[in-house]
Amino acid sequence: MKLSWKIFLSTLIITVLTFSIGGYFFISAVFQSALNREINAALEENKMLCNYFGAVISTATSEYKGKAAILNISESMISHFTNDKLAIRISDKAQNIIARNDDISFDMNLLKQLEDNSLVYKTMEYDGRYYIQTASVLQIFSGKVYSETFYDISSISGKVYLETFYDISSIFTDRQNLFSFYRKLIFCMLAANGLLVSLMTVWTLSPLKRLSNTTREIAKGKYDDRVIVRAKDEIGLLAEDFNKMADNLEIKIQDLEATTISQRDFIGSFAHEVKTPLTSIIGYADMLRSKNMSEENRILAADYIFNEGKRLETLSLKLLNLLVVKNHDFEMKQVNMEELFKNIEGIMELTLMGSNIILKISAEDIQIQVEPDLIKTLIMNLVDNARKAISESGVISLTGKRISTDRFILIVRDNGKGIPEKELSRITEIFYMVDKSRARVKGVGIGLSLCKEIVELHDGEMKFESQVGTGTSVYLNLRG
């Protein structure tokens, strides 16, 4: 069952129970109050009739004697005071009826509860109607009455019981009518309350519905979707907490995406970086296998193969740290710039010879503080990109010099096709290829993105200058 139905039904049930119980007690209290008034009125009326009867008996006994006088007075009083709502019955000490209304046949059990000078009552149902029956007793001596008012004593003694029957059916009818009216009122209130509860439920739960819709949108991949908070109540606070959770979730997802991209970069970069060393390794290995070489050249070729193999072994871990783990805590070592350039020249020689490209190096004989494998990867990437920019025979120059006590500059210049000015700002983006513009064939995909990471590791700056049809120059201003 939906929450809206639970709220709707529970509210209606509570409303019905509350009003039913409250209405029952209210109507019962009103009825009891009316009944108490009728009881008090009936008792007062019985007292009044008892006093009247005693007063008449006390004056009448001088002319009349015994039961005849009591009978005449009783019948006279009954004919005078009875009406549609009041009936009177008078009995002697043996509880034999002396006088009564013609239609009265109530039981006489109430008289058994009477004592001298007492007044009792009970509520009773008779023939479908309701009555208050009251009873009192009078002591009579010689036709005189001994009551609360008269104390004249004579020779004839006896008791007289006076009962009244007061019709109170109207208050029972009123109670029934009130219950009937209240049932209709509850039905009307239930209908009105149902409508109001429906509107209140829709209004109250609408923020939860928006929250649910937003949750579904986020589940579909719209991680930037948020709930609009319009209130500061509990649901508003829930929406704010949900938005905070969604923010944290989006950050986590972005981190996971960044990790995935880093892993992809590592795979692509490693595959990219393996190509050049493998070309040198395969080339020198082929020379050892197929050509007669002097002992010195054979040792030199084997040395290139060994060094490049070891570099590939360590390069994989360093690229992993640089691109995936984003670890910039590498050990910087002292490297001779001139020896570094000559080593790169030897590694790239076979590749460049196959493209009829000459590599000119110019380096100062100085020590620089760098990460050896990564700085070699940086320079070889730029030289290889320059090679790809040259369609036929050409020249690549590699220059290095110190510009301050803690900084040096490297320049890689080629006479290739060049890069359009509008492409220069994007060539270091991962997987961005200039060959889409047909200004440069192949190249600058993963390589320059990796170069950018290595330059940042050395607290440096990489700057490009290029002119279409003339060539490109790359300036590396590095700390070391």
70 with 165, same domain: the answer is yes
What pLDDT sits at residue 317?
A: 57
Amino acid at 459: D
Would 403 be classed as within a structural domain?
Answer: yes
Would 276 be classed as within a structural domain?
Answer: yes
What pLDDT sits at residue 2?
A: 72
Cβ contact 318:351 at 8 Å: no
* Greater model confidence, 461 or 422: 461
Would 477 be classed as within a structural domain?
Answer: yes
- pLDDT of 160-178, one tens digit each? 889 999 999 999 999 999 9
What pLDDT sits at residue 260?
A: 75
pLDDT at 84 exceeding the cut of 90:
no
315 with 442, same domain: the answer is no
272 with 309, same domain: the answer is yes
Q: How far is CA 166 from CA 82, 126, 130, 239, in A?
A: 10, 12, 8, 69
**What is the distance, to the nearest Å, from the Cα of residue 174 to the centroid of all Cα atoms in its chain?**
52
Residue 46, domain CATH: 3.30.450.20
Cβ contact 165:83 at 8 Å: no
Half-sphere exposure of 467 (CA within 13 A, CB side): 2
Cβ contact 132:166 at 8 Å: yes
* Greater model confidence, 350 or 142: 350
- pLDDT of 436-479, one tens digit each? 443 333 443 456 777 888 888 889 999 999 888 889 999 999 99
What pLDDT sits at residue 363?
A: 93
Q: How far is CA 24 from CA 37, 60, 194, in A?
A: 20, 53, 22
Task: Report the distance separating Cα 9 and Cα 315, nearest Å.
Answer: 70
pLDDT confidence band for 141 (50 / 70 / 90): low
Please give the share of the chain, as a percent, with pLDDT higher than 70. 82
H/E run at residue 347 = helix 337-354
Phi-psi region of 431 (alpha: psi -120 to 50; beta: other; left: phi over 0): left
Q: Spell out the residues 6+ positions from residue 94 whose beta carbon is closer than 8 angstroms to its own.
A: none
User: Which of 157, 175, 193 lies at the terminal end of a domain, its last residue?
Assistant: 175
What average pLDDT does the segment 178-189 reach? 88
What pLDDT sits at residue 217?
A: 79
What pLDDT sits at residue 107?
A: 82
Half-sphere exposure of 177 (CA within 13 A, CB side): 6
317 with 334, same domain: the answer is no
What pLDDT sits at residue 401?
A: 93
Q: Spell out the residues 6+ positions from residue 414 whose beta carbon is closer than 8 angstroms to its own.
A: 386, 387, 389, 390, 394, 395, 396, 397, 471, 472, 473
What average pLDDT does the segment 316-336 reach? 69
What pLDDT sits at residue 234?
A: 74
User: Which of 327, 345, 372 lies at the terminal end of a domain, its last residue?
Assistant: 327
Nearest one of 121, 124, 67, 72 to 96, comparing CA atoms: 67
Would 218 be classed as within a structural domain?
Answer: no
What pLDDT sits at residue 146?
A: 43
pLDDT at 311 exceeding the cut of 60:
yes
Would 448 be classed as within a structural domain?
Answer: yes
What pLDDT sits at residue 362?
A: 93
- pLDDT of 89-112, one tens digit each? 988 888 888 888 877 778 888 888
What pLDDT sits at residue 443?
A: 40
341 with 465, same domain: the answer is yes
Query: Tokens standing for 149?
Result: 């008012």
Residue 420, domain CATH: 3.30.565.10
pLDDT at 65 exceeding the cut of 50:
no
pLDDT confidence band for 228 (50 / 70 / 90): confident
pLDDT at 366 exceeding the cut of 90:
yes
What pLDDT sits at residue 314?
A: 64
What average pLDDT does the segment 232-248 reach? 78
**7-32 burial by CB neighbour count: b if 16+ within 10 A, else e?**
bbeebeeebeeebeeebeeebeeebe
Would 447 be classed as within a structural domain?
Answer: yes
297 with 388, same domain: the answer is no
What pLDDT sits at residue 133?
A: 92
pLDDT confidence band for 340 (50 / 70 / 90): very high
54 with 71, same domain: the answer is yes
**Cross-strand bridge partners of residue 96:** none
User: Which of 303, 327, 351 lies at the terminal end of a domain, its last residue?
Assistant: 327
314 with 352, same domain: the answer is no
298 with 335, same domain: the answer is no
Long-range contacts of 304-310 (CB under 8 A, 24+ apart): 304/280, 304/346, 304/347, 305/280, 305/281, 307/343, 308/277, 308/280, 308/281, 308/347, 309/277, 309/281
**Domain of residue 272, residue span:** 247-327
Would 200 be classed as within a structural domain?
Answer: no
Residue 284, domain CATH: 1.10.287
Would 212 be classed as within a structural domain?
Answer: no
pLDDT at 145 exceeding the cut of 50:
no
362 with 437, same domain: the answer is yes
pLDDT at 59 exceeding the cut of 80:
no
Mean of all residue pLDDT scores within the chain: 79
**Cross-strand bridge partners of residue 260:** none
pLDDT confidence band for 431 (50 / 70 / 90): very low
Task: Report the distance separating Cα 65 and Cα 143, nearest Å.
Answer: 7
What average pLDDT does the segment 117-121 reach? 84
320 with 383, same domain: the answer is no
Task: Report the distance separating Cα 97 and Cα 162, nearest Å.
Answer: 10
Q: How many domains does the chain have?
A: 3
* Listed ranges 232-241, 305-314, 409-418; the one with the highest mean pLDDT: 409-418
What average pLDDT does the segment 416-421 reach? 86
H/E run at residue 462 = strand 461-467
Phi-psi region of 17 (alpha: psi -120 to 50; beta: other; left: phi over 0): alpha
What average pLDDT does the segment 74-95 reach? 86
pLDDT confidence band for 188 (50 / 70 / 90): confident
pLDDT at 412 exceeding the cut of 50:
yes
439 with 298, same domain: the answer is no
What average pLDDT does the segment 140-165 reach? 56
What average pLDDT does the segment 139-144 reach? 57
- pLDDT of 26-53, one tens digit each? 999 999 999 999 999 999 999 998 888 8
